[in-house]
A and B are shown apart, each in its own frame.
Chain A
Amino acid sequence: VPSTSSDFYAAVALAVGVVALLLTALLIGLIVLLRLRLRHRLRREQLVKERWRPVLLGASSGEAVMPLPALPRQDQACLLTLWVYLQESLRGSANVGLNALARQVGLDKIALRLTLKGHRAQRLLGIITLGHLRNPMTWGALSAQTTSADAMISLYAAQALTRIDPPRATALLLPLLVGRQDWSLLQVAALLVDARSDFAAQLNRAFPGLAPSRWERALKLADALRLTLPLQAHLQVLKYSPTPEILVAALRLAAQPALLPVVRGFVLHASWRVRVEAARFLSRFGDVSDALSLEMLMHDNQWWVRYEAARALQQLPFYGPLALQANQASNTDARTRAMITHVLAEQHAAV
């Protein structure tokens, strides 16, 4: 029995359903269109690769290929991508040859245009290209991008600057390198690999003036790049470190025997992570007087502290596996005995 309410309901439900079906038809059309566009793009990319790969490979090995194929606007991004891929895969004179070709084709101008006016993906491509081209004239355009709120854009701009002029770039970027939490530490370390010594010089100079809130990141970066802090700066961090996290980062970086007296004080630290790092340090730089501390750490409540202490004793030249076995025989702590067995088994397996 149709009622007024029921009819109104029917109209609303039907309207919602029909709108949903119309939208579905639109989506299906969009899906098919996307697929057709993709196929078209892949075909074009294939053509660009077939035409340009021999040219790029020739340029990388110093051969001039003439005449150059035409480069319509819609193929520019594809060629840039191919060029960047080769740049990242090759080293030495190959890069020089590729750069010469890029200038001949006008890729430098295209890259600058994309960096300044492109959408996000194009900007990234432009920035990476400019970095490889190492043209100091693009410094201004790139340094403006390093303050972008977009972590990816700013990080790749920093990398490009580091490629163009490492000493100038590390001086300019140091506050960002140790300050921008949204920059992945791993990526920052990767971009600094070729500017390691410049970064070390800048960091050593700036470290005493760094705010403690920047210490942890600076220490981790230094650790990632296998750098050594100046002794005084390192001692300053170890003595005045405001958090265990910073202390752990500082201890991981510690590679100077002169730090031994300070590090000894950390075997009783409240944080077990600090005790772990202290045991690791002692395994490298400890002397006979540290054996007692390490034996004490083998009774620690934390598994990892016991493990590192046992490993340290096993590695120290004046202690070693035999003394460790002797300790096990006389030890009444079951956890310590089990840990010694574990460490000796690891050593046996490694042999």
Chain B
Amino acid sequence: MIAVLTWFILGYFVLLNVAYLALNFLSIAALRRNKQEKLMDTLPQTYSGLAPGISILVPAYNEEATITAAVHSMFQLTYSDFEIIVINDGSHDRTLAVLTEAFALQPFAQAPRDGLPTKPVRGVYRSARHPNLRVIDKDNGGKADSLNAGINAASHPLFCGVDADSILARDALQRVVKPFLNDPLTVATGGTVRVANGCEVHDGALMRVGLPSNVWALFQVVEYLRAFLFGRLGWSQLNAMLIISGAFGLFKTEVVSAVGGYRTQSIGEDMELVVRMHRMLRLQGVPYRIRFVPEPVCWTEAPEDYTTLKNQRIRWQRGLSESLHANWGLMFSRHGGAPGWLAFPFMVLFEWLGPVIELGGYLFMAYAFAFGLVSWQAFWGFLVMAVGLGILLSASGLLLEEMAFHMYPKMRHLALLLLVVVIENLGYRQLNSWWRLVGLYRWASQRESSWGEMKRRGVGKPPLADKTPPPPGLP
């Protein structure tokens, strides 16, 4: 029995890392192709006026301190045709008043649409200064409900859901819209989200890329590289990407409406929507593409303290559980294709049940060693393997970053990241697995998870009041 278990644990760790390395190879091929086309990005761009219009949806809940700067920074986006729709989700602070003052909002008699069900809309406002800015004031219903209200009001064929505190690259829309222009079957695209901590930000725009001094944030820099550069990019090559970060994603408005919009009961509404799109479009036999754009388009502030980070990860695991559970029909379904036969089982085995087996493996080996059931050589062999494979994966994430973007310009940045690649595997990843296990337990026992308080230091901004951030999707 002991032998079977030890071999199972070893096999699991090897399989997990081989699967990730396979995704890594897919990403390398995609990044190489991307790099070959970089010349075209450096040439002067022609604005044909033919690009599809985009409605930027900005859910806002108690955002009085940041919302004006956020909207101003969105006006700086380089795209020919877009509108901004801020959805004030029943804020208790002066969010609506601040917007009204800053943008000269006036009530607008918008004809109601028979769209997605949402909490009651109290009023619609339009800026007298910016014809492409509208504000929807509604009863509190959460981020998903706000996005659904935004979708109902959107005038354009594409919509982009962004967090009010996301820092967007000026050409973010131009980049994420490209797959829609190149392939009419595209229904959704996501871009790489990076950690903004340590970067210099001015008026909602990224001025200089840097690394945080806070160790929790540093660990997350490497985590985000791993998650976006080979997790999502790899799956995208197989048209099997199951997550588009809630911090920044572009969708075909009509398709999202047709599949029922965002699920309001879900914590991980961003992932749930994408998995549901895969499931329903495949069920209907509709050809589609969900694409990932590897260029960094969005920067987000990562938690810098233990409690906030722990709560975030618990929520993410609950969100993952809900998303998978709600779309179980995709798994090994007749028309499931790569999402149903590869990505979904991968998520179930390595992301959803992963913490159980990973932590179980560590505990079992420690127990077996303590009671003399395995030799000390076997115990240390296991530790070297588990940690070694983890470091290898983190290093490959950094390699992809260096191959394609090298966003962290200084040699000392690189040296620090190389150090983090090693040390994050000596405790942080195991701690993360523990938090994910707690999330899994809370989901299984249907215990309400506290959203907790997100302590934000503010990137390039004065300290903000605590607020609850939406999960940006699983890294």
Contacts and interface: CB of A to CB of B under 8 A. Distances in A.
A66 B38 CA distance: 32
A16 B385 contact: yes
Interface string B381-419: 111111111011001101100110010000100100010
Contact of B391 (A24, A35, A152, A342): A24
A178 to B, nearest CB: 14
Interface stretch (A26-34, A257-265, A281-289): A26-34
B392 to A, nearest CB: 4
A89 B44 CA distance: 6
Interface string A171-192: 0000000000110111101100
Interface in A1-57: 1-3, 5-7, 9-14, 16-21, 23-24, 27-28, 30-32, 34-35, 38
A20 B375 contact: no
Interface stretch (A67-75, A102-110, A118-126, A232-240): A118-126
Given A35-B402, A89-B44, A24 B395 contact: yes
Nearest to A152: B37
Contacts of B111: 303, 306-307, 335, 338-339, 341-342
B6 A350 contact: no
A117 to B, nearest CB: 15
A14 B380 contact: yes
A20 B385 contact: yes
A31 B108 contact: no
Interface in A312-344: 335, 338-339, 341-342
Contacts of B131: 349-350
Given A13-B381, A17-B388, A306-B111, A6 B375 contact: yes
A224 interface: yes
A121 B374 contact: no
Contacts of B48: 186, 189-190, 193, 224
A124 B110 contact: no
Contacts of A185: 50, 181
Contacts of B383: 17
Contacts of B10: 9, 12-13, 16
A121 B40 CA distance: 10
Interface in A253-288: none
Contacts, number: 175
Q: What is the interface of chain B mostly: helix, strand, loop, or mixed?
A: helix
Contacts of B97: none
A349 B108 contact: yes
Contacts of A23: 392
B389 A16 contact: yes
A125 B39 contact: yes
Interface stretch (A80-88, A93-101, A136-144, A161-169): A80-88
Contacts of B182: 151, 182, 184
Contact of A21 (B51, B380, B384, B403): B384
A84 B112 CA distance: 51
A345 interface: yes
Contact of A9 (B14, B106, B374): B374
Contacts of B377: 2, 6-7, 10-11, 14
Contacts of B402: 31, 34-35
B384 A14 contact: yes
Given A6-B378, A13-B381, A335-B111, A31 B399 contact: yes
Nearest to B13: A16
Nearest to A89: B44
B113 A190 contact: no
Minimum-distance CB pairs A-B, first 3: A17-B384, A13-B381, A2-B375
10 contacts: A9-B374, A9-B378, A10-B374, A13-B381, A14-B377, A16-B14, A20-B391, A85-B44, A89-B44, A338-B111
Given A14-B384, A81-B42, 18 more contacts: A1-B372, A6-B374, A13-B10, A16-B14, A23-B392, A31-B398, A31-B399, A35-B411, A89-B44, A121-B35, A121-B36, A128-B39, A152-B37, A184-B181, A186-B48, A224-B50, A306-B111, A345-B110
